[in-house]
Structure 1
């Protein structure tokens, strides 16, 4: 082939080794995962870290496997060389060596694979019906008024959830709907318990927890029931499903509004800690203080503009003082009434806010008193007390120039303690500027 012909061919992409490994891993994840593999254990070893490493093999091939400490701690049997097992996990690429490996999330003796295959088929069918759509899932309430709980009265999950809720939100009531969580009768019992809570939901309940502890796929099979899945999506309030351990997945997990890895985690998702709310209260305190300061500053500016336009603002100052005091009292009472039912931390917030309010109000009142004093010094009545008079004609127009007077005109003179009627006998223009000659 000629050089020109070869240069016309499209050039292949040149991959970096690490990038190609990551691309292969992404392709495996999208195409196969999650996956269940059946085979014979070979070369099983447990490292000091608790992680387990082995291979699964059959007559046609062999696959490296890694089972990390968390998943290995949930094993209900001791894997041995030659055991026929079914491994559930995710295919991945170990990038430092470019090796294909199965990250095992659960391991069971051969025979449980049929249940998992049934699980996958049911999951695919319900997903096709839209039961898992994220668009229909609702956010959890920030502060629920009451919490519904479905679990077995004798299960450890009930103790875990109750302990978490008592520690974090002891003031929120919890309504328990007891139900079987294992066995052939469990699905119908779980449906009954959920529907009993649906009758109490909104406005009495804001969220429902559906929980149980860990176990084998058979132990958790009740939560893969198809009718239970339809019942969960019919809930009028958000449902949090906390079934099994972190690596356990059931159909109920996919149908719920939120999936929690454990029952305790489910309780924590609907109960914000005390520290979180104290931090929020501190933030509210700062915003209230800033808003109050800005409001008082705005009122002070309005008062300054009003006093600048008035000749004798004593009455206006009094009204502004009363308005400011009334507003401050309403703000003070409002802040106190909102915080009255809080805990000791809330009471401290009230005291701090009240002190800030009183101090700010005192500063504003003092500023008003100073303004009143300055304005009173400008009162025209004080000028009249020094011997001056305010002259006006018959129509009440102020006279300030000799040019406005005529001999024989009758004028009015306002003095500090009264008013006199005068008559102009003559007028004379001052050489240094306008002067007033009075009459009698």
Structure 2
């Protein structure tokens, strides 16, 4: 970069323009801002100061150099940590010039601990790599069993997460067997321990599903669940794996690889086991629906059978008599069923009234209800006897009417029926030869006859 020609002095020639310090500072600041509008700088904090104005002033240095920095409100108030001397940080800043002293400085826009930024970058790199390999693909994720019999919980045996999981599962579904598979969930020894436990739990074939969980923490605290070997062990597991790491806003590599991600350990427990109270209500509802459906189908079959029986009886020679007899039997059954139903209804009604009486002690109403029950029973008996008597008379009348039109009744009045030798009824005297054998059927027997010449 060079200054404009108007501000350069030729050799041996007097300057055409003389700059003031403020003009020079503005010129230098413009050149810096144009050349380096925004940069990322990593270094160590020193001389950290936060005056009453709320601005943050500090020096960023490494082993060979240092630079003054400032972070003004409100951005200095948005920091999620407290900057202190000696802390290693990553700063996004604009390069500028502090004109009152003519000093080069950085105006910080954002600052984060350098370690956390490195962890975040490694997290994003590993996430992109595994995603490209297909470890996050939805089509490879397996459905969870609706009613898991055994669940293995891979977590710290002393953490709050396992207490939450056990409490929720015991409340929602006491039938499930839960095994705590203890592993360290933080530190260098955590990833290999988690990998070994995942492989062991999947190989034993004991569990219907595995839950990998821990409580919340910083990105560094959750590092074991962002480990590549842990992710590949989850992917290779033959048993479905549910991941519940940290709080709802926390995401780990294990969450993306697992067959299901739960926002919290408690939420994972609710997803893994059903609610026993809700299932009980559902079963009761299904039972009522099955009973109602069975009753409807039974009534339809009874009606169908009755209809077919009527059609079958109508085709028999003795259809009318058999129909009346069956009708009487059916009415008798219906009367008995009606009586039984009425007695049952009255009994149920009496039980309900008795329960209410027990609750309220209405002794006078109990006596009145008892009297009403006796009256109803007497009325039912009278109705039943009257109905049976009427049907008996109807049957007798029908029998007499049929007997009146019977050929046997005609014979009883002194008539006879003649049959020839072949057993055919003789309807005319013409054509009957002399000495032809005949047979006469009377009311009380048969007589052999022979035709003679008059």
TM tier, shorter chain? 0.5 to 0.7
| Partner Cα separation in structure 1 for residue 155 and residue 218 of structure 2 | 17
The answer for the alignment partner of 2:153 in structure 1 is 149
Query: Which runs of structure 2 are paired with 1:4-403 in the superposition (5 Å)?
Result: 77-78=81-82, 109-201=113-205, 204-309=206-311, 310=313, 311=319, 312=322, 383-384=398-399, 388=403
Equivalent pair of 2:147/2:273 in contact (CA under 8 Å) = yes
Equivalent pair of 2:172/2:276 in contact (CA under 8 Å) = yes
Q: Residue 295 and residue 62 in structure 1: after superposition, are their counterparts in 2 closer, same or farther (change >3 A)?
A: farther
| Partner Cα separation in structure 2 for residue 37 and residue 263 of structure 1 | 38
Equivalent pair of 2:149/2:175 in contact (CA under 8 Å) = no
Equivalent pair of 2:88/2:115 in contact (CA under 8 Å) = no
Equivalent pair of 1:408/1:426 in contact (CA under 8 Å) = no
Q: SS of the counterpart of 1:113?
A: helix
1:127 is displaced (CA, Å) by 0.4
The answer for the alignment partner of 2:363 in structure 1 is none
Equivalent pair of 2:146/2:272 in contact (CA under 8 Å) = yes
1:246 is displaced (CA, Å) by 1.2
Structure 1 unaligned regions, length at least 5: 1-35, 44-53, 88-103, 322-368, 394-405, 411-420, 428-437
Q: Residue 138 and residue 42 in structure 1: after superposition, are their counterparts in 2 closer, same or farther (change >3 A)?
A: farther
Counterpart selection for 2:418 from 380, 383, 408:
408
Equivalent pair of 1:182/1:219 in contact (CA under 8 Å) = yes
1:291 is displaced (CA, Å) by 1.5
| Partner Cα separation in structure 1 for residue 419 and residue 267 of structure 2 | 98
Equivalent pair of 1:245/1:261 in contact (CA under 8 Å) = yes
| Partner Cα separation in structure 1 for residue 286 and residue 83 of structure 2 | 57
Q: SS of the counterpart of 1:408?
A: strand
Higher percent of residues as helix: 2
| Partner Cα separation in structure 2 for residue 306 and residue 138 of structure 1 | 54
Range with bigger deviation, 280-289 or 162-171: 280-289
Structure 2 unaligned regions, length at least 5: 1-39, 51-55, 57-67, 92-109, 314-318, 334-383, 409-415, 430-440, 444-454
| Partner Cα separation in structure 1 for residue 154 and residue 303 of structure 2 | 60
The answer for the alignment partner of 1:357 in structure 2 is none
Q: SS of the counterpart of 2:201?
A: helix
Q: Residue 387 and residue 258 in structure 1: after superposition, are their counterparts in 2 closer, same or farther (change >3 A)?
A: closer
| Partner Cα separation in structure 1 for residue 181 and residue 405 of structure 2 | 89
1:174 is displaced (CA, Å) by 0.8
Equivalent residues, number: 282
Q: SS of the counterpart of 1:245?
A: coil
Equivalent pair of 1:408/1:424 in contact (CA under 8 Å) = yes
Q: SS of the counterpart of 2:242?
A: strand
Range with bigger deviation, 301-310 or 120-129: 301-310
Q: Residue 275 and residue 385 in structure 1: after superposition, are their counterparts in 2 closer, same or farther (change >3 A)?
A: same
Q: SS of the counterpart of 2:115?
A: coil
Equivalent pair of 1:425/1:439 in contact (CA under 8 Å) = no
1:176 is displaced (CA, Å) by 2.0
TM-score, with length taken from structure 1: 0.52
Q: SS of the counterpart of 2:174?
A: coil
1:78 is displaced (CA, Å) by 4.9
TM-score, with length taken from structure 2: 0.51
| Partner Cα separation in structure 2 for residue 249 and residue 86 of structure 1 | 22
Q: SS of the counterpart of 1:190?
A: helix
Q: SS of the counterpart of 1:111?
A: helix
Q: Residue 274 and residue 108 in structure 1: after superposition, are their counterparts in 2 closer, same or farther (change >3 A)?
A: farther
Q: Residue 37 and residue 159 in structure 1: after superposition, are their counterparts in 2 closer, same or farther (change >3 A)?
A: farther
- Bigger Rg, structure 1 or 2: 2
Equivalent pair of 2:89/2:113 in contact (CA under 8 Å) = yes
- 1:164-210 Cα distance to aligned partner (Å, 9 max, x none): 11111111111222111111111111111112221343xx4222111
